[in-house]
Amino acid sequence: MSAKARELRAQGREVISFAAGEPDFPTPEHILAAASRALHDPANHRYTQNSGLPALREAIAETTRVYSGIEVDPSQVIVTNGAKQAIFDVCAALFDPGDEVLVPAPYWVTYPASIGLAGGTSVPVPSLPETGFKVTAEDLERARTSRTKALILVSPGNPTGAVYSEEELAEIARWANENRIWVISDEIYQRLAYFHPESAPSIAANGADPDRLVLVNGVAKSYAMTGRGVRGDTPPTDTAPIKTP
């Protein structure tokens, strides 16, 4: 769809695209300047740790504390080549054949693929316009079986833009904790929540069990850097070492 939208624009047609999630502003100048300095720094011309530059992991840990409301150690942070890779890495680490993963629908198209490649089964949980395209703990409970291992939660959502409130997140967190369900919280759009002061609420700060919680976030959306795919995830301490050299 993104390619089709570009094709039509090239023909001079006005197109409003609901395909790829991209901001309508350019990358800020101070980021471009910092990127240029980093490219010219010999310290960045060599291999790094598999889990990412230590200074970057420290910065991600601090950003997670500020915007997601949870303390994480830099050793928990894994830097990836995009949120898709982060999601795939988590799926590969957590899921085995037969595991079911609840995915509120509508959802971004690559979630089922990552789950399936890991051997799991994605279970769509429909949401409705009447509920603001959000699911409740009751919806999730109806979809849960003895094989349910995880929930992929996205807030703000893609493609709907739905933002869960703190109360709604706390309800889902209680359900997940009671049923020992992993929560994979995709927060890539966290700072594009236009009706919230700083960022959208995170389930991390609203009762989610940190031992069964993975946060996925990045700078591509909030700083208009979708062509510069560097993201990160913050799994529990006993899961993070899967990518540590």
What integer pLDDT is reported at residue 179 of this predicted model? 98
Identify which of 158, 138, 135, 147 has the alpha carbon closest to the alpha carbon of residue 21.
Answer: 158
The ranges assigned to domains in the chain are 1-46, 47-243
Q: Report pLDDT digits (tens) over 54-75.
A: 999 999 999 999 989 999 999 9
Q: What's the CA gap between 121 and 95, in Å, rounded?
A: 9
d(CA 237, CA 232): 15
16: burial class by Cβ within 10 Å (0-12, 13-18, 19+)?
A: exposed
Give the CATH number of domain 47-243.
Answer: 3.40.640.10
Give yes or no for residue 21 having a pLDDT over 80.
no
pLDDT tens sequence across 111-146: 999 999 999 999 999 999 999 999 999 999 999 999
Q: What is the pTM of this model?
A: 0.85
Residue type, 159: P
